[in-house]
Structure 1
């Protein structure tokens, strides 16, 4: 195992931040996700595997949490209780990754996670333990640690500000780096981005019919789009709830525009899903947002339609090419060789589930193209049930939390003037973002872990739910009081009733 230059840079920044606040360390972890094509450490002993920067940054987050002067260890234990279903999901996945491939070795044939000498698109090999089982176990553990670490970091002073402000900065950096990387192909600037793509990932073709695919610091456009979608949805949800609206709204608009031109099917599925969700919510629950937000959304949609109409009139060929590109990356994808291969990979989950009797053949045992089919095939009934319970717990904080006014706007930053409203607003933004970013993963993810972005937003949603005031339960004592009054001696009823009323009891 050896450090790359990215890992050494993280090492220096991480040790510096150990003596700063826990929220600052959370931003460090979030920002490390920008370098999705990088490796912080290379591990040749595990089949040339590597540890990505965001996983490596978690080490410093936990060092900061567990420092004697930190005092946040109790928050970790609370996080474990609140995320117990995810803990069970991860523990079962870790055990299955080491045991299941040996238990079911040779029972079925699978397309492995790494297949350097495949003879065709649908080639398979007998199931056996590989280094990818260990890698998958590490990633699953990393997702759990990210959930619990975020839970602790958001609960401390400054945690909400770090989450919101950090999301704005990450969205802008990710959008700008994607544009610069796509528009500087073949120039010396391309070498700068290639320098950071030092992970052991396949570097795919980054162009389609003259369009430069947006990849930034990622090895492919789909990886860039998947990361971008998470921060687009979160910023848009914060804007919708008037949390630092000028900044979150601008960040969402910037990264959303780049997503549209990213030529990634992941981006189009994600944007389409969120657009449908936003429209249905606005029609069904118009009171869930301030009227000004709905007007701004309507103006934005109208502006997009007008710009598209002008573009069609001035440059009909260009607009047609963009339309062809979007169609190719969405509805035509299923009929392509790539689409057929992805369907084959997804169906391996059902085959593995059946062959293992519902136990699963272990994370990392085969390449999938659907998160939920991967969970079903690698972790069986236990995996799909525990993850489903945790996902329900995350989403249900929206209606389990006490009702109250939403939103916060202030020049001093988020969560300044009406803290309880801001906590609820950011909690709801996290609870909406977490499940929505799983929609593209449901049709494209090769792994059985939900990813660190999901972990961050899910952990934050659960933490913020615990920060809300709990509703008081007042027992109805009217019957008891009335019986006491009726049983009292004659002449005492009026005085007793007056005393009860004065004490605040029902009469």
Structure 2
């Protein structure tokens, strides 16, 4: 085991930031998600696996909650009031059993893609136990335990202000890292954030596409930065629409600019998908004759942007040629590229593995796909997929009709966290290689479930849960 000094230094800085805002556990966990290429240690015994710094904060949160004075009573409240937690526990158990059993039971019966331990990259090989079964299952279980721990914290005390601050800080830090990375490359300094990239990943941080630098921020590659940008944009946009917060609005604009400059196909396609519900919302307001000020502002900005683009195009016909070529290579013809064809082949073989294991799956961490739903099907099988679908429905439903029993600020935070999680699912569906939806998804499950229970308590005072912090 090799400890990363830079990783520990970043963890210390995040802890100090969390202490300053008097929420070191929640703020530390959410802010640490920004550093997608900074590891705490490198575990040579697990094929060089390098846990990212969020695992430190997640473990710290789970440990702190486990040592609470009335933990068993609080766990009883969580499991008694939040039924989706049972689906989460069942999914964790299935993932652990499947990660150990299925690669051995179906060994050699199907072909999968795994990370090579001899050289960087993904290779095609017969199904067999690999170090990823341990590391990825560990990440998944840690995410589930984090959701349970957050439910304990959120169920017995209103911590929505801490959640709000944590996500806004994370979005601001994401933008800051993206700007530093872009400015450093444009200035000829190269990858100025290289010192914090301590994870044992293939770092694609100094790459050009069509003459444009690819923005990676604190992530390992542009697609990871693009996925994170989609999640940040969704949170800031929804929070701005519901509260008119200038900070959230400014961050949303900045994230949108960075996303447009990221040269990530995940970012571009994901943005197009996320624009659909926004367009439907504006169209619904138009048909009902009730335009919101924010919707008028959005339409005005879009109209001015289109007019400006047309004026520039008329003045200089070749101005947009590099951008058109970039979109053509990164989005339109992405499927025809060698990378696109390779990823399509990964997905095809992953679905073959699903059927060749009779729908049971090959086990978490046994294979690599290029789409989160396909990874869920191939690794967790039909049973695991159904339990995952339960959690996805929880996030998709959000507060539903219960939002009338909570204050507008709480509803805004919960809706923003929900949008952030759904945006990350969209990004993962475009290029996710693992069945793990990410710890951000588990945070959203906890925030939504705990708030729904508190809302139910407000609607029926006789069943209201205690709110004291003990």
Normalising by the smaller structure, the TM-score range is: 0.7 to 0.9
Aligned to 2:367: 366
Q: Does 1:324 align with 2:291?
A: no
Following superposition, the deviation at residue 428 of structure 1 comes to 2.5
Aligned to 1:145: 145
CA spacing shift, 1:473–1:36, aligned 2, 3 Å? closer
Alignment deviations for residues 263-316 of structure 1 (CA, whole Å, 9 cap, x no partner)? 001111221111111111232367899711211221222232233234434554
Following superposition, the deviation at residue 64 of structure 1 comes to 3.1
Alignment deviations for residues 316-337 of structure 1 (CA, whole Å, 9 cap, x no partner)? 4342211221232112111111
Following superposition, the deviation at residue 22 of structure 1 comes to 7.4
| Equivalent position SS for 2:437 | coil
Q: Does 1:109 align with 2:111?
A: yes
* Aligned residues between the structures: 456
Q: Does 1:434 align with 2:427?
A: no
Residue pairs, 1:452-491, within 5 angstroms: 452-470=439-457, 471-472=459-460
**2:407 paired residue among 417, 420, 428:** 420
The TM-score, its normalising length taken from structure 1, stands at 0.82
Higher normalized contact order (CA 8 Å, seq sep 6+, divided by chain length)? 2
Following superposition, the deviation at residue 11 of structure 1 comes to 5.7
Following superposition, the deviation at residue 368 of structure 1 comes to 0.3
Aligned to 2:257: 257
Partner Cα distance (1:17, 1:149) in 2: 21
Aligned to 1:344: 345
| Equivalent position SS for 2:114 | coil
Partner Cα distance (2:210, 2:14) in 1: 42
Q: Does 1:35 align with 2:35?
A: yes
Contact 1:22 1:153 in 2 (8 A): no
Contact 1:360 1:379 in 2 (8 A): yes
Partner Cα distance (2:290, 2:416) in 1: 12
| Equivalent position SS for 2:50 | strand
Partner Cα distance (1:181, 1:420) in 2: 39
| Equivalent position SS for 1:143 | helix
| Equivalent position SS for 2:161 | helix
Aligned to 1:477: none
Residue pairs, 1:193-204, within 5 angstroms: 193-204=193-204
Contact 1:420 1:468 in 2 (8 A): no
Q: Does 1:93 align with 2:89?
A: no
| Equivalent position SS for 1:128 | coil
Aligned to 2:178: 178
Contact 1:423 1:467 in 2 (8 A): no
Moved more, 462-471 or 219-228: 462-471
Partner Cα distance (1:171, 1:15) in 2: 17
Contact 1:34 1:217 in 2 (8 A): yes
Following superposition, the deviation at residue 343 of structure 1 comes to 0.8
Q: Does 1:309 align with 2:296?
A: no
Aligned to 2:466: none
Contact 1:196 1:217 in 2 (8 A): yes
Following superposition, the deviation at residue 95 of structure 1 comes to 1.3
The TM-score, its normalising length taken from structure 2, stands at 0.88
Partner Cα distance (2:77, 2:258) in 1: 39
Partner Cα distance (1:380, 1:337) in 2: 29
Aligned to 1:299: 300
| Equivalent position SS for 1:386 | helix
Partner Cα distance (1:292, 1:18) in 2: 35
CA spacing shift, 1:28–1:402, aligned 2, 3 Å? closer
Following superposition, the deviation at residue 374 of structure 1 comes to 0.8
CA spacing shift, 1:58–1:472, aligned 2, 3 Å? closer
> Is there any run of 5+ residues in structure 2 with no aligned partner, and where?
463-470
Contact 1:343 1:369 in 2 (8 A): yes
Moved more, 1-10 or 356-365: 1-10
Aligned to 2:60: 60
Partner Cα distance (1:124, 1:211) in 2: 32
Following superposition, the deviation at residue 118 of structure 1 comes to 9.2
Partner Cα distance (1:118, 1:20) in 2: 40
CA spacing shift, 1:74–1:435, aligned 2, 3 Å? farther
Point out the structure with max Rg over C-alpha. Answer: 1
CA spacing shift, 1:248–1:158, aligned 2, 3 Å? farther
> Is there any run of 5+ residues in structure 1 with no aligned partner, and where?
405-418, 475-507
Following superposition, the deviation at residue 365 of structure 1 comes to 1.0
